[in-house]
Amino acid sequence: MRVEKVWLDSYPQGTAKEVDVDSYPSVARMVEDSFRKFGPRPAFANMGRTLTYADIDRLSAAFGSFLLDHLKLKKGDRVAIMLPNVLQYPVALFGVLRAGLTVVNTNPMYTARELKHQLNDSGASAIVVLDNFASVVQEVLPETKVRAVVTTALGDMLGFPKSVITNFVVRHVRKMVPDYDIQGAIRFNDALRRGAGSGLAKVDLGPGDIAFLQYTGGTTGVAKGAMLTHRNMVANMLQVGAWFGPAIREGEEVMVTALPLYHIFALTCNCLVFMNVGGLNVLITNPRDMAGFVKEISGLKFTGITGVNTLFNGLLNTPGFDQVDFSRLHMSFGGGMAVQRAVAERWNKVTGCSLVEGYGMTESAPVATVNILGGEFTGSIGVPAPSTELSIQDDDGAIKPAGEIGEICIRGPQVMRGYWQRPEETTKVLSADGWLRTGDIGRMDERGFFYIVDRKKDMILVSGFNVYPNEIEDVIATHPGVLEVAAVGVPDDKSGEAVKVVIVKKDPALTADDIRAHCKAELTGYKQPRFIEFRDALPKTNVGKILRRELRDSPPRSG
C-alpha cells in the first residue's frame, strides 16, 4: 500500500529524505567505528568523572569478554541491565551488544512482581544491578532462570577516592542500600578485571539479530518485549541524526542526558545518535532532584538536551535555572508525552532555544515524526522522519485523506520485528505490509504535518511512561477488600496524566490508605494511583463493559 509523501516538501533545505540503513550491520559495529574515530574525546560523564571513547572501548570489551569467557553465554542470550544513569550503564550496554547478546533494559524501580515477569518472559541468563535495587533481585531470583548476577555500587566507576566516599555515604549515611545477600554474585569491577585478560572474540552479528528486548505494556496488562533488531536501532539512529544533521557539529556536542538510558527515547536519541558523531553524554543520575540537577549543569556549556514535558517544566520552575549558561544550547528535543504550549514558549524565552517535539513509541525504536528545528510551537507532532512513512487509517486498514481522522500508522526500517514470543499480539499491531498500528488517533494536514487527536487505547501516559489500566486493575483486584475496580488517566499539570482508580468495596472498612499500601508493594511509583475514589457501582454498558470515559470525565478526588 503506497502513500503520497506530501511531507517531503516540508523538509528543511539540506535535510536528507532517506538514510542508508545498511551503513552499519549492527549497533556494535557503529560504536566500534566511533571508538576508533573519537578515541581520546569524552564520551560519558557522571558525577565529576569522564570516560573517553577509548575508555568505553576498553571497558566494554572487558565486560563482553567476561560474559562470553567466564559466564559462557552464547550469541542471542539475554542479559538484563537494571541500572540508572551511571557510567556502568554504557560499559555494560556495549559489552553485551559487542558480545552478540541481547540487552533487556529493566527499570530499576520495578517491584518484585514486575521484575519477575520481565526476567521470566525474556528468559534472561544474567542481570547487572545497582546495589540499591539488588534486594528485589534477590527476592525473585529463585523463581527465574537467571544464573549470574553482577552487582555494582553507585560510585564504583568514579575513581579513588571519590568512589570510596560516595559508596560509604550512599550505604551508611543515606542508607539507600537495603540489605541483600545473593550467593555467587560478582562485583562489576571484578568482572571487568576478569575480562580484561583476554581479547573480546569477534561475534558474527547481522542486521536481523535482536539487539534489545525493550519492554512495553499492552492492553492485556502484561508487559511485552518489543524485538528491536540491530537494523531497527541503526536505522532510527541514522534517521534522527539525518534530521538534526545540519545542526550537529561532529565531536563538539554536549548532551544533557537526564532521561534514563533504559528508556528507548534516551537510549536512541542521546546515547546512540551522539555517540555516532563523537558527542559527550552527561548522565544525570537523579533528575528528580531538580535543585541538584540545576547545580550539576550550572557550570556546563551544553549544546543539547532531551526530556519530557514534565522535566522541562520542572527545570523552568527550579530557582537558578534561568542563570544557567545557555550560550551553546541549540537543540532541545521533547518526546514521550505531549509538549505543552506554555512550557515550549517559556523554554524558548528562558533558554533562547526552541523546544522541538517528536513522536514515536517503543515499537518504532522510537522516533517516527519530528518537528522542524528552530520552528515555532504548533501543537503538531511533526512530519515523518527520513525513510519513514505515516498514514491515517480506518479500522479496515484503508488510508484516509488529509484532514480526516483515523489511527496513526507507521512504516519504516525502525519498526520492530514483533513482540517476543507473542505472535498473536504481534499480528494485532503489525500488518502484513509492514504498518504498525499505534493506537493513537490523529490527522494529517495538507503539508504532511501530523496531529494527535485522542488515544484509541486506554493507556495512561505518566511523565512519558506507559501505564496500562488492566495491570493496575489486576493488582488492586487481588486486595480482599475490593469488589470491582477501574483505572483511568486524568490530566495532571506535573506528569501530563495521573492514575485515577475507582473502586467498589467488598469490605466496608477498606480505605484509600489500604489501597496505597497494597499498590506500593506491587507497582513502581509512576503506576501507583494518585487519586482513589470509592463508588457504589461502576458505570457499564449493557453488556457489562466498564465505561472508562465516564470515569475519566468525572472530577478526580482523593479517597
From first to last of the 559 residues of the chain, give the pLDDT tens digit.
689 999 999 999 989 999 999 999 999 999 999 999 999 999 999 999 999 999 999 999 999 999 999 999 999 999 999 999 999 999 999 999 999 999 999 999 999 999 999 999 999 999 999 999 999 999 999 999 999 999 999 999 999 999 999 999 999 999 999 999 999 999 999 999 999 988 899 999 999 999 999 998 643 457 899 999 999 999 999 999 999 988 999 999 999 999 999 999 999 999 999 999 999 999 999 998 999 999 999 999 999 999 988 899 899 999 999 999 999 999 999 988 778 888 899 999 999 999 999 999 999 999 999 999 988 888 899 999 999 999 999 989 999 999 999 999 999 999 999 999 999 999 999 999 999 999 898 999 999 999 998 666 777 889 988 887 878 887 898 899 998 888 999 998 888 899 999 999 989 999 999 999 999 999 999 999 999 999 998 887 544 557 777 887 776 554 5
Count of beta carbons in the 10 Å neighbourhood of residue 503: 26
Count of beta carbons in the 10 Å neighbourhood of residue 175: 9
For the record, the C-alpha cell of 442 comes out as 490523529
What's the pLDDT at 64? 98
Considering the entire predicted model, what is its pTM? Answer: 0.88
What's the pLDDT at 218? 43
Extract the runs of DSSP E, i.e. beta strands, from 12-121.
42-46, 49-52, 78-82, 102-105
What's the pLDDT at 363? 97
Query: What's the full length of the chain, in residues?
Result: 559
Sign of CA dihedral 132, 135, 140, 146: positive
CA 388 – CA 245 distance, rounded (Å): 16
Look at phi and psi of residue 374 and say left if phi exceeds 0, alpha if psi is from -120 to 50, else beta.
Answer: left
Q: What share of the chain is helix, strand, coil (3-state, %, to 5)?
A: 35, 25, 40
CA 420 – CA 225 distance, rounded (Å): 5
Cα 96 from chain centre: 18
Give the residue from 84, 131, 105 showing the smallest Cα distance to 284: 84
Alpha-carbon separation of residue 108 from 111, 114, 124, 181, 452 (angstroms):
9, 11, 16, 18, 31
Residue type, 130: L
CA 31 – CA 25 distance, rounded (Å): 11
Under 8 Å CB-to-CB from 549, ≥6 apart: which residues? none
- Report angle CA 461, 308, 132 to the nearest 5 degrees: 85
Residue type, 395: D
Extract the runs of DSSP E, i.e. beta strands, from 318-458.
331-334, 355-360, 367-370, 383-384, 389-393, 406-411, 418-419, 436-444, 450-455
Q: What's the order of all strands across the beta sheet hosting 126-130?
A: 186-187, 148-152, 126-130, 78-82, 102-105, 210-216, 224-229, 418-419
Extract the runs of DSSP E, i.e. beta strands, from 278-382.
280-283, 304-307, 331-334, 355-360, 367-370
For the record, the C-alpha cell of 374 comes out as 528552530
CA 445 – CA 6 distance, rounded (Å): 10
